[in-house]
Amino acid sequence: HLPLILKPDGNGKLSKRDGDRLGFPVFPIEWKNQDNGEVFKGYREQGFMSEAFINMLVFLGWNPGTEKELFHLPELVSEFSLERVGKSGSKYDYSKTKWFNQQHLRLQTDQAIFDNLIASNDNLLTKFPKEYIINVIALVKERAVFELDILDEGAPFLLDRIDFDTKAVDKKWKTEFVPSIITLSNTLFALDEFTAKNIEKSFHDYLDSSNMGFGKIMSMLRIAITGNLAGPSMFESLELIGKEKMKERIDSAIEILK
């Protein structure tokens, strides 16, 4: 008898109602009630990887006796034993399930993620070269929980139009620093080799010479380039989009946000 899977909050075993109430599926794949035709989406349809789902499921009552948490199926086959299955129930944790998916996604090669994304969105290749898309994946995949999150996280690099986060703009876009962001843009644009390393050095040299605070100018630069305050390395992001698009976006942000 394997341990019961318990609800995340309170006492008792996990039920479909708990999933409905707390916003997560309880079926591994889509299930249809034959009596009333009601359809319930499963973890597969929500974008969970099979390796991550199995990894999560086996830890509901079993542990390897070590600190290791990430396992691929062949490893589980070789290491699993009923002797290490506990007798008490195990509380389900949806956030931990997403963590498993995030970790397994990070273990995927950029090429494998590219192949999966193109299989579901092949028009990307009509807009960008394969190498560029793979570079976007490498830049943003650490921030993704699901494969499709990569398209959202990578939107500033895959879309021409930037959507500005109004809260970020209200908080960090300061009109009095616009001349500084223009000077920085011109300084970076003048670089002969537009690499992340050179961009970072030039950025810090500018801060030193102008006595500007890092947070003030970096926040405005990030808003101009990506539309928000969160994202991957700004210096790597700039190298990826190139100096022409950098200048175009900064000029556009100044015009739009004035």
**pLDDT of the residue at 66:** 94
State residue 1's pLDDT score.
62
Q: What is the pLDDT of residue 204?
A: 95
Q: What percent of the chain has pLDDT over 90?
A: 80
At residue 41, the pLDDT reads 86
| Tens of pLDDT, residues 14-69 | 988 888 889 999 899 998 989 998 888 899 999 999 999 999 999 999 999 999 99
Q: Roughly how many angstroms between the first and final C-alpha of the chain, as a whole number? A: 66
- Condensed to tens digits (0 to 9), the pLDDT of residues 158-176 reads 988 889 999 999 999 999 9
Mean pLDDT score, 87-108: 95
What pLDDT score does 161 carry?
A: 86
Mean pLDDT of 126-132: 92
State pLDDT tens for residues 186-218: 999 999 999 999 999 999 999 999 888 888 899
Q: Is 226's pLDDT higher than 70?
A: yes
246 contacts 238 by C-beta, under 8 angstroms: yes
pLDDT surpasses 70 at 114: yes
User: How far apart (Å, rounded) are the C-alpha atoms in residues 52 and 54?
Assistant: 6
Q: What is the mean pLDDT of the chain?
A: 93
Find the helix or strand (DSSP H, E) in which 32 lies. strand 31-32
State both tokens at 19. Answer: 């999933």
User: How far is residue 118's CA from residue 110's CA, in Å, rounded to a whole number?
Assistant: 12
Select the more confidently predicted residue: 123 or 82. 82
